[in-house]
Structure 1
Amino acid sequence: MTNRLKPTLGTLHLWGIAVGLVISGEYFGWSYGWAVAGTLGFLVTTALIATLYTCFIFSFTELTTAIPHAGGPFAYSRRAFGETGGLIAGLATLIEFVFAPPAIAMAIGAYLNVQYPELNPKTAAVGAYLLFMTLNILGVKLAAMFELVVTVLAVIELLVFMGVVSPGFSLANFAAHGWAGSDSFGLPAFSGIFAAIPFAIWFFLAIEGAAMAAEEAKDPTRTIPRAYISGILTLVVLAIGVMLMAGGAGDWRKLADINDPLPQAMKMIVGEHSNWMHMLVWIGLFGLIASFHGIILGYSRQFFALARAGYLPPSLAKLSRFQTPHRAIILGGVLGIAAIYSDGVINLQGMTLTAAMITMAVFGAIVMYIMSMLSLFKLRRSAPEMVRSFRAPGYPIVPGIALLLSVVCLLAMLWFNPVIGALFVAIMLVGYLYFLATKAQRDRAPQDTMLAGE
């Protein structure tokens, strides 16, 4: 098949991508969950979602190693359920990876605004897009090495945050007002646990994106399981630690509905003018940059894979002289910048732009998780001969838990976010109409043996 991506990435690169894709979720976004669930309610939500992701990653790794394809979930679902199944998973993944970066870019702008109040956060967000789109175009090895460096720095910074804040930690602060409900829906307090699902998912969202670098991995049957398993363990520990330390620093209600909860939590302990505070703002940017940069890599590979298979215009599958899908990188950036400038123009359920983008990205992720787990079950039956160097442990219970919790999350998301849910469905329908109109385009696409099962 033409237009294959070159394998250049090792285990550390893939760990850096897997953790880096997600690690901004430890820096911001999750605290919106406190606003609807309280600290204790959100702790329950986070435990539920951590269980979902742990079961999902152990199951998803089987698919990634058996079908190391740039399309990731698109490739698995197409192999299992044909073209329509591939479309559903591919579009859902694309929505996840296109809508997450604007939220992260705005958080980058918010962090910079702390140091430079005169700097418009939107201007900084657009500048971040232009810089990291360029870096991704210059080559995957360079991009992956940069991702690894900033991810390691981001992990170290989160450990420093927990260490600096821990002397002032108070369990009483964390537990105070800990069972906030979702009163706007007229439901009892425990409903906040379900309303907070998108923000708990944000702790782990996009770790599956490392699958889209699988085609560029050296020895994927060995490197991918190591990267995924160490990655999910890293993220669970960081998520619980950061949330506990921030919530116990003072009045956690001051940290809900803001894009920079960690600097504000540290301010409660060390004061506004501490050197620790300034260090957190600056080095904290590494966490946001790691995810932002990694998700650009992820969405570009999804655009590339869908275009190569004829699901999107074939021009998006063209590679630059650096062997990167430059047109796909640019298209995702244009869409993200447009989303940033929609802030204040489009109102979705009264949410901030960041919360709305997170919620839309989570809708895409949950649908993709469901399709991936269904693909795992289907391929176990329909393709028993497939080489599986890694098999999901505890099958069928572990993937069954991931599937069940994903369905519960989707139903809760639709209940609490009907407007964004309707917009998600509308985007999927537009994609389906394009799919129906372009059968000839898919017929002309080069044969892909991994999708055909040959």
Structure 2
Amino acid sequence: MSTEKTALSKSLSGVHLWGIAVGLVISGEYFGWSFGWASAGTLGFLVTTLFVAAMYVTFIFSFTELTTAIPHAGGPFAYSYRAFGPTGGFVAGFATLIEFVFAPPAIALAIGAYVNVQFPALDPKTVAVGAYILFMGLNIAGVGIAATFELFVTILAVFELLVFMGVVAPGFQWSNFTTNGWAGESTFTIGSIGGIFAAIPFAIWFFLAIEGAAMAAEEVKEPKKIVPRAYIAGILTLVFLAFGTMIFAGGVGDWTALSNINDPLPQAMKTVVGDSSGWFHMLVWIGILGLVASFHGIIMGYSRQIFALSRAGFLPGVLSTVHPTRKTPHWAIITGGVIGIAAIFSDNLITINGTTLTGNIVTMSVFGAIVMYIMSMLSLFKLRQSEPNLERPYIAPLYPIFPAIALVTGIVCLVAMIYYNFIVFGLFVGLFAIGFAYYAATGHLRAGAEGDLLLGTK
């Protein structure tokens, strides 16, 4: 396998990487999180979000050490491979693949819901498929073009969230936010604890996929300098937007009306300004751009994960082929898109216990993310022991406290999610079993894979 065939273009700046890090996530501010209100209430979900935000802040400050030491398109796959060998690489890589392949169909359905607000005659699923076709094409066109577009729509999406907070502020009342805020009860009870834990997947959705910027590290001009700045600025941006969006949306009226829909922000704004206001229509249109930022960015993320797994022999070699002129992994982009489109039309397979298709796709994606977070923190501890002389341009602050907090909170999230989403977890395990069977049967692919010094394999 020639190096030229699998070489990615280095063309990304620090601002590009911030745009990717925030853009990957920012759709989580526009939809998905409000499903957590149905489980925990507004106050209960606020507690859940504080817990999850603590996990993400400590995780990102720790994860950045790995990203700068091993700037590899596989991201967590590469770190776990280096720490624990091929099996560890498989676990982290396949978990990341599930996270990044299942997140886009949920976002695509939300794009369809937002477009349907403006054009009720358009079927949301048709719009979702159209979004896949359009943004797979943009990603194939070139990473520089894709990243510049990502930065543009991310800036617009951040601006629109600030506008949302400002426009609804006159209608905000703290009493609206706190009414029956503990899992539908007016006061905290023992039962509220269950709701707080059940809502974990939807609090994670606020921040899910920021780690995907690591998969672009191989395409950054100066990763050792740029990655820490982009990651830290990105997580701080997202924490502010998550809490601001949630609190303002919940305080403008009856929050229960927003707890099981794909477009909570337009509906919250409509309560304040009415559905004929220009502000309302602007939010819908720029809200679509926010969803597009994440959708587009996660397509970039899943394609790099598929590319890296293929290059290392964990997936068929054709998936690490890059376009001869665009230098983008076009077959990886197309393959992930086909799986995502199939998920959009899998209502009968994924709708479980009355939970919406979007809610269950979100949960499946979050299972992949949590397993990957745990593997990444274990890799950080292992590499500190096994490779003390590895060049680390950025050192995790307060080591071992920060990575330990991220690891423990990640394990708590995983246990709680299994308890409250056992059937989805069963599907997750089933996918892992299929993946492991393929892994066990294809050792010859890894034996003949391209040498990769960053993995320490050859």
The bucket for the TM-score relative to the shorter chain is: over 0.9
Which of 405, 414, 433 is matched with 2:437 structurally?
Answer: 433
CA distance in 1, matches of 2:350, 2:402: 40
**Equivalent pair of 1:37/1:179 in contact (CA under 8 Å):** yes
5 Å-filtered alignment, 1:99-118, equals: 99-118=102-121
CA distance in 2, matches of 1:346, 1:225: 38
TM-score (norm 2): 0.97
Question: How many residue pairs are counted as aligned between the two chains?
Answer: 451
Residue matched to 1:334: 338
Deviation at 1:350, TM superposition (A): 2.2
3-state secondary structure, aligned to 2:315: coil
Residue matched to 2:133: 130
**Equivalent pair of 2:112/2:124 in contact (CA under 8 Å):** yes
| 1:424 and 2:428 correspond | yes
**Equivalent pair of 1:174/1:244 in contact (CA under 8 Å):** yes
Deviation at 1:188, TM superposition (A): 1.6
Residue matched to 2:212: 209
Residue matched to 1:81: 84
CA distance in 2, matches of 1:346, 1:405: 27
Structure 2 gaps, min length 5: none
Which of 183, 198, 207 is matched with 1:180 structurally?
Answer: 183
| 1:161 and 2:164 correspond | yes
Deviations 1:55-82 (A, max 9, x none): 0000000000000000000000000000
Deviation at 1:187, TM superposition (A): 7.5
Deviation at 1:272, TM superposition (A): 1.2
Residue matched to 2:44: 41
Deviations 1:132-166 (A, max 9, x none): 00000000000000000000000000000000000
- Residues 324 and 98 of structure 1: CA distance in aligned 2, closer, same or farther (over 3 Å): same
Residue matched to 1:394: 398
Which of 305, 326, 331 is matched with 1:322 structurally?
Answer: 326
- Residues 280 and 310 of structure 1: CA distance in aligned 2, closer, same or farther (over 3 Å): same
Which of 341, 349, 354 is matched with 1:350 structurally?
Answer: 354
Deviation at 1:190, TM superposition (A): 1.6
5 Å-filtered alignment, 1:15-94, equals: 15-94=18-97
5 Å-filtered alignment, 1:236-251, equals: 236-251=239-254
Residue matched to 1:376: 380
| 1:267 and 2:274 correspond | no
Deviation at 1:429, TM superposition (A): 1.0
Residue matched to 2:229: 226
Deviations 1:244-285 (A, max 9, x none): 000001000000100000000001101111111111111111
Structure 1 gaps, min length 5: none
CA distance in 2, matches of 1:70, 1:195: 33
CA distance in 2, matches of 1:350, 1:390: 46
- Residues 442 and 124 of structure 1: CA distance in aligned 2, closer, same or farther (over 3 Å): same
Residue matched to 1:297: 300
Deviation at 1:189, TM superposition (A): 2.1
**Equivalent pair of 1:32/1:258 in contact (CA under 8 Å):** yes
| 1:406 and 2:410 correspond | yes
CA distance in 1, matches of 2:348, 2:110: 16
CA distance in 2, matches of 1:194, 1:4: 43
**Equivalent pair of 1:181/1:191 in contact (CA under 8 Å):** no
RMSD over equivalenced CA pairs, Å: 1.2
Deviations 1:83-108 (A, max 9, x none): 00000000000000000000000000
CA distance in 2, matches of 1:233, 1:189: 29
CA distance in 2, matches of 1:340, 1:452: 39
3-state secondary structure, aligned to 2:416: helix
**Equivalent pair of 1:349/1:417 in contact (CA under 8 Å):** no
CA distance in 1, matches of 2:421, 2:316: 32
Counterpart code for 1:221: K
Residue matched to 2:316: 313
TM-score (norm 1): 0.98
